[in-house]
Amino acid sequence: LRPYPATPLLRGASARDEEIELVWDDGERASIPLIWLRDHCPCEACRHHQTRERLIVPLDGVAETAEVGLEAGHLRLRWADGHLSQFASGWLYQRRPAATDASALPARQAWSEAFTPTRVAHADIFTPGGEATWLEALLRDGLVLLDGGPLADEEVSRIAERIGPQRPTNFGARFDVRSKPNPNNAAYTAIGLALHTDLPNWRQPPDIQLLYCLQNAAQGGESLFADGFQVAEALREQAPEHFRLLSELAIDFRFQDATQDIATRAPVIECDASGRVVEIRFNNWIRDTLRLPAAQMTAWYRAYHHFWTLLHSPRYQLDFALAPGQMVAFDNRRVLHGRRAFDPNTGARHLQGTYLDRDMLESRLRVLARDS
Ligand code: AKG
């Protein structure tokens, strides 16, 4: 059995009806159904010895009775069909029904007016503590800064791939943001970019965006951010009907160029079944022809304009110039980003960007917690 050093041993185990009652050294108690224990048997017949994936479904009848015993403080069950299951006390302690989930991820918190982003030094992201701080802030606040990185091509990919594979889109897995001669996207010009989320025209837009600054010598080009969750709540409070229209009516988003035509239909504000805001899709360049019943159109435009105005209000906006060697990471399905116009004749501005799946951030945080 694998030891779980920080958790107590079992001092009692007894069968009652179809459950086992357990008592640990620290006085903690739990009742666990027999069928659950059979389902979670860790032996090599029940779990693949290399992948640790489950190989069985507990069958009717096999988990109604078992002989219960303790061996050096761990649980031992001999089932009626002769099968033997052994459970480490610590494993059971961590997963007992009343236990809080030690691997729980940070809850998303809307920005307050006093919000200032967490900053992590580039050198620290390569330590477990620094990386966990960066990941937690990104999952919780939807935005985090990394300071003092090298001015190295592809540093953004190196950081991203520490977390997980880069998420490719029609702009490639890794993209360069600088003004180009024949742009297919407003980001590749020098114009100011109003707040937006990237690629809301995809059924699943990229979750996380990383933007790494390599050069920022041009006049202008400051970065702008707003928390869509915070501003959506302000809209709900100021004008519930506007919030309702933007969250209930799906509209079209579409990107077209010579080779692509990527489109989807979704509301600007998406709520879950309990009414909590879970996603913002906002990108005025690729908002497609408005297809709504004529009677709803004017009301929808009013609601959209109201949301636009709130988003761009200085009260809700973060505004700062990225320094060369600095990287901003943000939740693209929550936090809107933009920039002020810049003058390419006054100096170079060059950012490198990529996207990551939120699942990989969560995975990385669980792996770091496992090792700590
Ligand atoms: C984008 O790549 O989507 C941008 O909005 C670029 C932001 C910037 O140039 O600061």
Which of 95-99, 311-315, 364-368 has the highest mean predicted lDDT (pLDDT)?
311-315
Q: Tell how far the Cα of 178 is from the centroid of ligand 1, in angstroms.
A: 9
Mean pLDDT of the chain: 93
Give yes or no for residue 328 CB within 6 A of ligand 1: no
Ligand 1 binding pocket mutation candidate from 337, 354, 355 (most atoms within 8 A of CB): 337
Indicate if the pLDDT at residue 7 is higher than 50: yes
In 124-137, which positions are buried (b, 16+ CB within 10 angstroms) versus exposed (e)? bbeeeebbbbbbbb
Work out which ligand 1 atom sits closest to the CA atom of 196.
5
pLDDT at 71: 95
Give yes or no for residue 193 CB within 6 A of ligand 1: yes
Query: Using CA positions, which residue lies closest to atom 4 of ligand 1?
Result: 187
- Identify which of 211, 109, 100 has the alpha carbon closest to the alpha carbon of residue 160: 211
Indicate if the pLDDT at residue 2 is higher than 70: no
With vertex at residue 370, the alpha carbon angle to CA 135 and CA 206, rounded to the nearest 5 degrees, is 35
Indicate if the pLDDT at residue 288 is higher than 70: yes
pLDDT at 1: 35
pLDDT at 371: 55
**Banded model confidence at residue 93, pLDDT cuts 50, 70, 90:** very high
Give yes or no for residue 187 CB within 6 A of ligand 1: yes
Per the CB < 8 A criterion, the answer to whether 348 and 215 are in contact is yes
pLDDT at 298: 98
Ligand 1 binding pocket mutation candidate from 171, 339, 340, 352 (most atoms within 8 A of CB): 339
Q: Which pLDDT tens digit goes with each residue over 232-280?
A: 999 999 999 999 999 999 999 999 999 999 999 999 999 999 999 999 9
Q: Helix, strand or coil for residue 363?
A: helix
Q: 22-31, 57-66, 75-84: which has the minimum mean pLDDT?
A: 57-66
Give yes or no for residue 337 CB within 6 A of ligand 1: yes
Give yes or no for residue 339 CB within 6 A of ligand 1: yes
pLDDT at 208: 98
pLDDT at 213: 98
Query: Using CA positions, which residue lies closest to atom 6 of ligand 1?
Result: 187
CA atoms within 13 A on the CB side of 288: 20
Q: 31-45, 100-114, 204-218, 343-357: which has the minimum mean pLDDT?
A: 100-114
**Banded model confidence at residue 336, pLDDT cuts 50, 70, 90:** very high
Q: Which residues pair with 213 in a beta bridge?
A: 351
Q: Which residues pair with 47 in a beta bridge?
A: 54
**Banded model confidence at residue 102, pLDDT cuts 50, 70, 90:** low
Torsion of CA 49, 52, 53, 55, to 10 degrees: 40
CB atoms within 10 A of CB 254: 15
Q: Tell how far the Cα of 177 is from the centroid of ligand 1, in angstroms.
A: 6
Q: Tell how far the Cα of 113 is from the centroid of ligand 1, in angstroms.
A: 24
Q: Which pLDDT tens digit goes with each residue over 135-157?
A: 999 999 999 999 999 999 999 99
pLDDT at 196: 98
Give yes or no for residue 251 CB within 6 A of ligand 1: no
Strand pairing category for 349-356 and 174-177: antiparallel
pLDDT at 188: 84
Give yes or no for residue 146 CB within 6 A of ligand 1: no
Work out which ligand 1 atom sits closest to the CA atom of 337.
5
User: Which residues, other chains included, contact 129 with Cβ-Cβ below 8 Å and sequence gap of 6+?
Assistant: none
What domains, with CATH codes, occur in the chain? 10-95 (3.30.2020.30), 118-371 (3.60.130.10)
Question: What is the value of ipTM here, to two decimals?
Answer: 0.97
Query: Using CA positions, which residue lies closest to atom 2 of ligand 1?
Result: 187
183 or 171, greater pLDDT? 171
Indicate if the pLDDT at residue 212 is higher than 80: yes
- Identify which of 315, 186, 291 has the alpha carbon closest to the alpha carbon of residue 238: 315
Work out which ligand 1 atom sits closest to the CA atom of 322.
10
Query: Using CA positions, which residue lies closest to atom 8 of ligand 1?
Result: 339
Q: Tell how far the Cα of 195 is from the centroid of ligand 1, in angstroms.
A: 10
| Cα 60 from Cα 46, distance rounded (Å) | 16
Indicate if the pLDDT at residue 5 is higher than 50: no
User: Which residues, other chains included, contact 366 with Cβ-Cβ below 8 Å and sequence gap of 6+?
Assistant: 103
Indicate if the pLDDT at residue 58 is higher than 90: no
